Chain A
């Protein structure tokens, strides 16, 4: 909760009938949930759906008024399991998480939920983190829908469409007794747009009502023989119901002329990019009026056979625009055409890349190639056979010049000193096998630290080192896990596993008081008081409870020397079993957001405040940059001196420095150089401060004048 306040966004959730909502896509979905009379919402934070969670967490008043239960679930599995409330009760429920990472975790619950089916509408909003800027493996959520036979919506990426998809999704879920996944891509979640709001609806049945009137139905429980019946029911009853609903409610859309020799079928999420490509090919206008027949699948699973076959009627060829691989939709359509004995040629990945995001250029190239081959008559002469625009000067290639800029630790990040210490320990004891985990601390794999060999999933860092447990080995493995990952899964899968299997490795739990990488949400071990959640449960206690005997707690990660010594001890101690180090310091991004306004106010109010900042004596710095190889702080950089005697740029600290202390600690622990200084600025000094300052500057000034009076002093020295 510390990273941002969502008070402004929360107000948007109150908008009523006919009022205009303006904001982010993911907030539009949040509002749509309330308009649909949702009874409960759960989820696990992560880009791009974090804001849904954050806003609801701040919207307790509204949720209370409506009787909606909200949970920040412990994991995606928890969130999906929560949808069990819709199995027997006609309550609409929603769960949300990042996909496919979250869907992976949720699979167990999802499969069970899908088997028994639901009575109340169950909607799973998956934020598809695919393509540019994604931080996860590139896979498709589509496969999960297919394997569990839950329906998948992929609406056109504009606010009215995604809001409608939420409404449609609940209805579809209810008429077909099947959970529905609503897939929104990362840019769609972050798109700023508008839609006309409706009043929020109180759920027809709240979770309180359900608790007071418990129900059960053995037929909905996943156990033989019901489970065998579930499978049959999926295909005999639920599937046809879904197909009917999608067809009858025109969930999928048609654009452009009815007839034509070619057509394009696409996932709803691809629509805007397709229109833009057609526009650039001279076949559409800014409003989407187009000369090419389009079939837009707002529901990508299940597919509607007759709708598709009808679209293909009279067409020579049809292009399927399907992002990601494998191309399930294309395969399904090809089978439909084949079985129906149709002659329409189906193409897709021939013209578009098999893998990777379908960006504007990719779409333009793909659609251009398709139309030039299959329907050249539609294109103007210049587009059909474009002149090479080889005129003009060649633009030099900058790929050798422009440096890569991967994400890294923020200014003052408390995780930086942990990895600086690890690097120093490795300099002393040699390289070790290091297993990384998901979270900000994964930036350790990048320069300047370059620590960590694998990442296997959230909370699975130590688990991924579990094979490296051999009595013959002279070195121990080191594994990292963040506090977020620890509570998500790490406590049992990693720490418990290590205790049980007597793993001899070192486990470092990076505790920064939040689930920081996902936006600074509170977790069990957060130090702050949270109005609606129970916090302040120390990780150390949980680890002890799991049976860990060798446990060290570092309460200030900036103490590089202490982290170094502790890690060294863990790697060399005679004691068996897992060696666990909990390294705690507050996420600096959140700390600054929390403290800066308070500090500024205190200074304004005349209170004595000491603000630290670091600096470099540029004439003492020799420009070797050893400090930067142990830091990578954005605030610590290089600058050229206006001095021909000096060849290499020296270190320099900019005004964004928060005075975390890492520079000084590292210079000390690694015995680097005496160039760094910490400058503490005392605002509103006390009388004693002032007195001491006067005395000190008196003596210091005297000594300085004495020496400088007896030597040559150069003008700008």
Chain B
């Protein structure tokens, strides 16, 4: 490697003439071009010569892009500027998104001797991260840890959020962070003059600039403390104070809210009764159970909540403290999810609540005297229709394919329902009101059966293999989605559990079941899962 000696040389006048090299890595559409123009402008304002280059073209369309700027003090002679960044030779790296910072490190543009890394810590998920049925997102923590090691100085906070709050784009808050970092020998005023001269959205840009500037200054504390003894935990703590300063509402605790409830006295009393049952559970299980109970009662009623607790009690009875109540906690979570299956009633109920309307207004940013109109997208099929029928009628139709097809032809089409209109709202409101009949409907019967089969299977397994029982409970995570997606999910769930006979008696059975579940979450059809199942089939050979 030649990096370390880049500045020394045999020539008398060898050297870089005070050259500063800045690379900007951004996702197409983030305003990387504007940022590099600004950097050139601020350099020129301060008596520097500067050059910027980029590789635009189609990469601008949402792909990763690089902009590169070189600058040096104007000594009356034109220096030879390079047109692309070199590994180990970048003074400042600005990453407009966290994974782009990771990419810069990967490409060797960030080195501990030289590079100040300024990154917005927010994530823009790449397509590959979004399309996994599970959680396909890359590890931000890993990139942050590596960035600390790889850079001379690492400045990272959510500059996107600052920009959005200021009504601007991330390029402005990044520019502020660059100024705040003090890594370039230019005064703050000259940066602001650059923004002023740009002439468009100046006020918002300046607000975002200030946020970025202050954020980067705040981070100086972190840098100072990082060299003190105290270890990574200490750093992390300071990190979080910096982030929470810019994202105060994120830090609000959630636990306190879980118990707050309002309603008719009789129902509240019923709720209190259920809560008192939770207090009899082992401490470790209480938090998850409280959340689960809340979900279940909110979904149906307090009686449903009692059923939830009854079921849970069965597993708690088998559980021990020695196992940290892992099984009970998993059951508290997945039982609640299984009981709250996604049917038309639930969807209609959720869509017609006042809190929902308020949330939409907040998210869309309805203010002043603007009016909001909301359209919902439904596509009912005969399956949903039968599910919402009394069990006997529903089953009757389902057992007659011709009749089912006849009904399907009449109802199977996309329906757009305006929940801000009388008729649209009323229709959903009425469907939501079918809640009280839910126990008698076909879907409920099917779901209960499925739940019992799964839950009994887990309970039966406890005496033989506790860890495997936990994984059987966790397999429930696979059940999600509506219509075809739901059918596919069910099939994955069944396929995973179909491995149980093959795993019987193996000491690593739980591990294998977990692996199968993870494989099932990797792709849509379950190709990875099928591969993993083949492996399992060969285990016994």
A624 interface neighbour in B59, B65, B480, Cβ under 8 Å: B480
Our pick among B1, B10, B102, B429 for the contact of A401 (Cβ within 8 Å) is: B102
Query: Max chain A CB contacts within 10 Å: which of B2, B133, B485?
Result: B2
Find chain A residues with CB under 8 A from B429 CB: 703, 707
The smallest C-beta distance from B120 to any residue of chain A, in angstroms, reads: 14
B403 within 8 A of A: no
CA distance A536 to B81 in the complex (A): 46
Say whether A617 contacts B485, CB under 8 Å: no
A186 touches B3 (CB 8 A): no
Segment of B311-319, B372-380, B462-470 in the binding face:
B372-380
CB within 8 Å for A647 and B131 given contacts A285-B11, A285-B17, A622-B482: no
B131 interface neighbour in A625, A634, A672, Cβ under 8 Å: A625
Report the Cα distance A157→B271, complex, angstroms. Answer: 75
**Complex CA distance for A34 and B450, rounded to whole angstroms:** 78
User: Which residues of A lie under 8 Å from residue B6 when comparing CB positions?
Assistant: 280
B54 proximal to A (CB < 8 A) = yes
Q: Is B397's CB within 8 Å of the partner chain A? A: no
**Please, which residue of chain A has its CB at the minimum distance from the CB of B489?**
A624
Q: Which residue of B lies closest to A22 (CB)?
A: B44
Pick from B28, B138, B254: contact of A402, CB under 8 Å: B138
Task: Let me know if B402 is at the binding interface, CB within 8 A.
Answer: no
Asked if B224 is at the interface of the complex by the 8 Å CB criterion, the answer is no
Distance of A279 Cα from B17 Cα, bound (Å): 10
* Bound CA span A711–B355, Å: 14
Interface string of B83-100 (1 = CB under 8 A from A): 111111100000000011
A715 to B253: give the CA distance in the assembly, Å.
13
Stretch binding the partner chain, chosen from A227-235, A328-336, A346-354, A387-395: A387-395
What's the Cα separation between A16 and B364 when bound, in Å?
A: 51
Known contacts A398-B105, A402-B103; decide if A287 and B80 are in contact (CB<8 Å): yes
Residues of B within 8 A of A678 (CB): 374-375, 377
* Contact between A644 and B291, CB atoms less than 8 A apart: yes
Which of A271, A447, A671 has the largest count of B CB atoms less than 10 A from its CB?
A671
CB within 8 Å for A693 and B432 given contacts A664-B377, A673-B485: no
Q: Is the CB of B353 within 8 A of A708?
A: yes
- A404/B128 in contact, CB under 8 A: yes
- Of A188-196, A206-214, A318-326, A570-578, the one touching chain B: A188-196
Q: How far is the CB of B248 from chain A (nearest CB, A)?
A: 15
- Establish whether residues A679 and B373, one from each chain, have CB atoms under 8 Å apart when the complex forms: yes
Number of A-B contacts (CB under 8 A): 432
B193 at the interface (CB under 8 A from A): no
Q: Which residues of B contact A202 (CB under 8 A)?
A: none
Assess whether A17 is interfacial by the CB under 8 Å rule: no
In contact, A286 and B347 (Cβ under 8 angstroms): no
Q: Which residues of B contact A717 (CB under 8 A)?
A: 298, 353, 355
- CB of A146 within 8 Å of the partner chain: no
A546 within 8 A of B: no
- Contact call A283/B257, Cβ cutoff below 8 A: no
Closest to A670 in B: B484
Contacts of B369 in A (CB 8 A): 684-685, 690
CA distance A203 to B369 in the complex (A): 60
Residue-wise interface mask of A (648-674) relative to B, using a CB-CB cutoff of 8 A (1 in contact, 0 not)? 110000010000000010011111111
Closest Cβ neighbor of A632 among chain B residues = B127
**B410: A residues at CB distance < 8 A:** none
Which of B40, B103, B288, B342 meets A192, CB within 8 Å?
B40
Contact A715 B261 (CB under 8 A): yes
- B374 — which chain A residues lie within 8 A by C-beta? 677-680
Tell me if B221 counts as interface (CB < 8 A to partner A).
no
Q: How far is the CA of A647 from the CA of B485 in the complex (A)?
A: 17
8 Å CB contact of A408 from B62, B372, B477: B62
Q: Which residue of A lies closest to B474 (CB)?
A: A647
Within 8 A of A (CB), among B1-50: 1-6, 8-11, 13-19, 27-29, 37, 40
Asked if A282 and B433 make an inter-chain contact with CB atoms under 8 angstroms apart, the answer reads no
What is the CA–CA distance of A705 and B350 in the complex, to the nearest angstrom?
14
Instruction: State A649–B350 Cα separation when bound (angstroms).
Output: 19
Residue among B129, B356, B381 making CB contact with A617, cutoff 8 Å: B356
Residues 375-401 of B at the A interface (beta carbon under 8 Å): 375-379, 381
A388 to B489, CA, bound (A): 53
Q: Is residue A284 contacting chain B, with contact meaning CB distance below 8 A?
A: yes
A396 engages B142 (CB within 8 Å) = yes
Q: Is the CB of A668 within 8 A of B414?
A: yes
Q: How far is the CA of A396 from the CA of B148 in the complex (A)?
A: 11
> How large, as a class, is the contact surface on chain A?
35 or more
Chain B residues with CB below 8 A from A273, complex form: 82-84
Task: Pick the contact of B137: A396, A446, A638, A670 (CB < 8 A).
Answer: A638
Q: Closest B-chain residue to A388, C-beta based? A: B1
Stretch at the interface among A375-383, A485-493, A537-545: A375-383
**Does B282 sit at the interface, judged by CB under 8 A?**
no
Q: A622-B481, A626-B524 are in contact. Are A287 and B77 (CB under 8 A)?
A: yes
A656–B420 CA distance with the chains assembled, in angstroms:
24
On chain B, the number of residues with a Cβ less than 8 Å from chain A's Cβ atoms is 155
Q: Note all chain B residues with C-beta closer than 8 A to A272.
A: 80-83
Report the separation of the CA atoms of residues A407 and B356 in the bound assembly, to the nearest whole angstrom: 35
CA distance A401 to B66 in the complex (A): 20
**In whole angstroms, how far apart are the Cα atoms of A634 and B30 in the complex?**
11
Query: Complex: how many Å from CA A359 to CA B52?
Result: 16
- With a cutoff of 8 Å between Cβ atoms, the chain B residues found around residue A645 in the complex are 288, 291-292, 295, 333, 336-337
For the complex, give the distance between the alpha carbons of A333 and B351 in Å. 76
Q: Are A407 and B297 in contact (CB under 8 A)?
A: no
Binds B, one of A69-77, A128-136, A167-175, A238-246: A128-136
Tell me, yes or no, whether B56 is within 8 Å of chain A by CB. yes
A579 within 8 A of B: no
Which of A360, A408, A707 contacts B433 (CB under 8 A)? A707
Name A359's closest neighbour in chain B (CB-CB).
B84
Q: Are B128 and A403 in contact (CB under 8 A)?
A: yes
CA distance A682 to B375 in the complex (A): 13
When distances are taken between beta carbons in the complex, the residues of chain A under 8 Å from B84 are 132, 187, 273, 359-360
Whether A368 lies near B261 (C-beta < 8 A) is: no
Q: A360-B86, A402-B138, A674-B482 are in contact. Are A620 and B342 (CB under 8 A)?
A: yes
A47 to B267, CA, bound (A): 67
Pick from A157, A192, A649: contact of B135, CB below 8 A.
A649
Take A187-B55, A190-B54 as given contacts and tell me if A667 and B78 are in contact as well, using a CB distance cutoff of 8 Å: no
Interchain CA distance A394-B292 in the complex, whole Å: 45
Q: Is B229 an interface residue (CB 8 A)?
A: no
B371 touches A625 (CB 8 A): no
Bound-state Cα–Cα, A283 to B126, Å? 43
- B364, A613: Cβ atoms under 8 Å? yes
Min distance, Cβ A260 to any Cβ of chain B, angstroms: 14
Does B57 lie within 8 Å of A677, measured CB to CB? Answer: no
**In the bound complex, do residue B105 and residue A395 qualify as a contact, i.e. CB atoms below 8 Å apart?**
yes
- Could you tell me the distance between the alpha carbons of A615 and B366 in the complex, rounded to whole angstroms? 13
Q: Does the CB pair A282–B99 fall under 8 Å? A: no
Neighbour of B86 across the interface among A361, A701, A712, CB < 8 A: A361
Q: Contacts A287-B79, A625-B130, A715-B257; is A282 near B56 (CB within 8 Å)?
A: no
Q: In the complex the two chains form, is B61's CB within 8 Å of A409's CB? A: yes
- B354 interface residue (CB < 8 Å to A): yes
The 9 closest A-B pairs by CB, nearest first: A282-B9, A360-B86, A286-B17, A133-B55, A407-B63, A47-B57, A715-B260, A668-B414, A622-B480
7 A-B pairs (CB sep. < 8 Å): A398-B146, A404-B128, A626-B485, A638-B125, A644-B333, A681-B364, A713-B262
Extra 9 A-B pairs, beta carbons < 8 Å, given A398-B102, A699-B425: A281-B9, A283-B9, A382-B5, A389-B4, A622-B342, A677-B360, A685-B371, A709-B264, A717-B298
- The chain A residues found within 8 Å of chain B, CB to CB, are 47-48, 129, 132-135, 157-158, 186-188, 190-193, 271-273, 275-276, 279-289, 291, 359-361, 364-365, 368, 378-380, 382-383, 386-389, 392-393, 395-399, 401-411, 440, 443, 446-448, 517, 561, 610, 613, 615, 617, 619-620, 622-626, 628-629, 632, 634, 636-638, 642-645, 647-649, 655, 664, 667-674, 676-685, 689-690, 693, 696, 699-701, 703-705, 707-717
